[in-house]
């Protein structure tokens, strides 16, 4: 009997290790895990598969994790840890909208960089932190590959930029005029438009709520969880 139990335990451990190896975290947390950590590292991979040597976060992995978090009553809050250079715009914005719609407290922490589509992913949480040396790059939508030079193409890019801007303004303290000004800078990034913000600069512009680290982020998340539970 004990041998059968040991075999089941070993199988469960193997499945858990495989899940961590594949997804970076367990989809359904243990009962003891009040806070679920959601890492978004490297490039956000969407409809196109990135080369195997690229560090990436796959949106088809994050979506079931977010749904599992929402359905699991044992999870009381989510910590999103970001170090991303950006990636697929549609996938990144979809993930950001899902994070924003979670019915539990969420806190984000930018630890290395939150560039491009990483900006709305950082602002999607209820409260956001950035480490002192971390950077955020705000720039207009860019696309590689064949672009058809017709008015409809410009309108497509314009609408996509509007969607991103509206989300950032809706989920942070920055106003639309200031955001557009940061996007239009031409003297900051080499051969590109946009602005790079380091640590406290992101807070001063209203993109991020506070400069801090893991201790601050967990402390804030626990206080949000406790506050929500006290109102029930």
Q: Which residues are catalytic?
A: 116, 139
Nearest alpha-carbon partner for 197 in 186, 184, 209, 208: 208
**Are the CB atoms for 137 and 194 separated by under 8 Å?**
yes
Cα torsion 191, 55, 123, 160 to 10°: value is: 60
Nearest alpha-carbon partner for 137 in 75, 188, 210: 188
Nearest alpha-carbon partner for 134 in 118, 145, 150: 118
**Are the CB atoms for 136 and 197 separated by under 8 Å?**
yes
């Amino acid at each position: 009997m004990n041998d059968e139990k040991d075999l089941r335990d070993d199988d469960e451990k193997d499945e858990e290790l495989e899940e961590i190896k594949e997804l970076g975290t367990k989809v359904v947390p243990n009962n003891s895990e009040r806070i679920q950590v959601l890492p978004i590292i490297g490039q956000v991979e969407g409809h196109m598969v990135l080369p195997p040597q690229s560090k990436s976060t796959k949106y088809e992995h994050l979506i079931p994790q977010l749904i599992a978090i929402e359905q699991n009553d044992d999870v009381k809050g989510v910590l999103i840890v970001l170090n991303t250079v950006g990636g697929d715009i549609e996938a990144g914005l979809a993930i950001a909208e899902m994070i924003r719609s979670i019915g539990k407290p969420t806190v984000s922490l930018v630890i290395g960089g939150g560039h491009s589509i990483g900006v709305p992913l950082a602002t999607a949480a209820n409260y956001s932190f950035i480490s002192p040396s971390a950077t955020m790059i705000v720039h207009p939508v860019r696309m590689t590959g064949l672009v058809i030079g017709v008015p409809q193409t410009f309108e497509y890019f314009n609408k996509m930029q509007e969607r991103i801007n509206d989300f950032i303004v809706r989920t942070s303290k920055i106003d639309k005029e200031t955001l557009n000004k940061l996007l239009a800078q031409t003297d900051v990034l080499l051969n590109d438009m946009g602005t790079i913000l380091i640590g406290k600069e992101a807070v001063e512009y209203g993109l991020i709520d506070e400069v801090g680290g893991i201790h601050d982020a967990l402390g804030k998340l626990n206080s949000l969880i406790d506050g929500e539970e006290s109102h029930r």
